[in-house]
Amino acid sequence: MKDAKLILTPLSTSSAAISLILGTPLSDPTLYLATVASPQYLFLTQPDFFFAVNRMAQIMHKPTNEH
């Protein structure tokens, strides 16, 4: 990744920005899971998109309305 280009992302790069305990658990997380999990493989090949999707995937086992 030495030659990778820098890009701006609307997400915070600090780990404190995503929490598993804030917010109310979604009653049906199906849409969230499909939105994050389905394109995750595609974004693994596109590093500029990968960061944002990966951050959201880190909390996909317990999404809340904060995410």
Note whether residue 6 is domain-resident. no
- The answer to whether the pTM exceeds 0.75 is no
Note whether residue 8 is domain-resident. no
pLDDT tens by residue, 10-32: 766 666 666 778 888 889 988 88
CA distances from 62 to 3, 29, 51, 55 (A): 35, 8, 19, 13
Note whether residue 38 is domain-resident. yes
Query: What is the domain range of residue 51?
Result: 22-67
Sign of the dihedral defined by the CA atoms of residues 6, 44, 39, 29, in that order: negative
Note whether residue 16 is domain-resident. no
For the chain, the domain total comes to 1
Q: What is the CA radius of gyration of the chain?
A: 13
pLDDT value at position 17? 64
pLDDT tens by residue, 33-57: 888 777 777 767 777 777 777 777 8
Note whether residue 2 is domain-resident. no
